Amino acid sequence: MNRVLILLFVLSFCSLAHAQEGLVRQVVPQDSLVMEMPAAVDSTLLGTTIFSLINRNGGDVEINQSASMERAFVKYVENNAKKRLNGYRIRIFFDNKQSARANSEEVEKSFTESFPQYPVYRTYTNPYFKVAVGDFRTKSDAAKVLEKVLPFFPKAFIIKDVIDYPL
């Protein structure tokens, strides 16, 4: 009996895979982005979850999850917070004059007051004091913020950097 069920499952899976061979995603390159056509979706199921479907039919859903699974998820989130990845920041200050240290502190304070939602990174790489802001995964995200920053810091520009994992 089990062999028959397994055979039926494999045959139905193969026929489903064969039917979907004709549904190939079309990739159209534009500039430096890759646009993918969205997969066909049954519009009657948009915005619904499996739980709402079960509850609609009068069933109750109870999720039983082991404590080890919860600990594993918490550990996963904590580990991601420590990760660093390649991304972009906005450099708002770069100088090596005698007063560069004091000026970098003033720029950091000024930026934090104007844009408290973005992290500020003040570094010293001999002989330059630098102030960079933000943790952006894409250059376009950084460019959006750069437009807001330029009126306050007209010499600001986008740099590639190793960023902290976004919250």
The per-residue pLDDT for 107 is 94
Question: What local confidence, expressed as pLDDT, does residue 81 receive?
Answer: 73
Residue ranges per structural domain of the chain: 86-158
Give φ, ψ of 75 to 5 degrees: -65, -40
- For residue 131, the tally of other CB atoms under 10 A from its CB is 25
Low pLDDT (below 50) residues in the chain:
19-24
Q: What is the pLDDT of residue 80?
A: 78
The pLDDT value recorded for residue 7 is 59
Model pTM greater than 0.75? Answer: no
| Cβ density class 93-104: b for 16+ within 10 Å, e for less | bbbeeeebeeeb
What is the pLDDT at residue 123?
Answer: 93
Class of domain 86-158: alpha beta
Predicted pLDDT of residue 82: 76
